[in-house]
Amino acid sequence: MHSVAVLIPTNWSRWWSVATKAVSKTGGVNKVRIGGGTWRSRLLSFPDGPGLRPTPDRVRQTLFNWLGQDLHGMRCLDLFSGTGALGFEALSRGAREVVMVEKSLPAFRALQASKTLLSADGASLLNADAAQLLNAPSAKLEAGSFDVIFLDPPYNQGWLDKLLPAVAALLAPDGRVYVEAEYVLADSAPWQVLKSGKAGNVCYHLLKLADANE
């Protein structure tokens, strides 16, 4: 995925406005709101932490519009779960299971608390490093078993080049990968960019594996 154009945000005040719409603070605790489905408007708590940035509300709304709103029966993988906003919203919209991976122990504990708060039986939580997990056999990461994969890694650390090749084998037929990055992604074999958008300095994309005949 090297054929990309790097975009530098020129209006930081606008970016800050967009980003903070996803987050509120109550009593010094960060909160993010689920935007749709069974748990619509429920608040999730999460700690401060390096690179921990919830997907902005309007970006999540666009993503789930792309995915069709109803994720009934789908199996999803959230590799950098962070606040849990994407994974728990997928469950709220009908996904049967979301495997949520988070390396940070404070963030992972917040995910456990959110799972308990929502009685989210479909959330399978793993306190693990995403790259190491993908390189080791795991009963939770069967090849071809995920309908949607959420990939929202920390910026400026080269995660996409490392992980996109690895997640290809995990996608079910006609599966989709949602990617957030600090730059725009272009088509690069074996990936095809189906949809994309930009909000502040968040560049977001929906990818699929290109057909061999395309």
Instruction: Specify the pLDDT at position 117.
Output: 97
**Is the pLDDT at 75 greater than 60, yes or no?**
yes
Q: E-assigned strands of 67-143?
A: 75-78, 97-101, 123-126
Q: What is the mean pLDDT of residues 18-33?
A: 60
- Which of 130, 126, 123, 49 lies closest to 88 in space, CA to CA? 123
Averaged pLDDT for residues 117-125? 98
Asked whether residue 73 carries a pLDDT value surpassing 70, the answer given is: yes
**Residue 92 pLDDT greater than 90, yes or no:** yes
Is the pLDDT confidence value at 17 over 60?
no
pLDDT of residue 7: 36
pLDDT in tens, 79-88: 999 999 999 9
All domains in the chain, ordered by first residue:
4-209 (3.40.50.150)
What are the pLDDT digits (tens) for 188-207?
Answer: 889 999 999 999 888 999 99
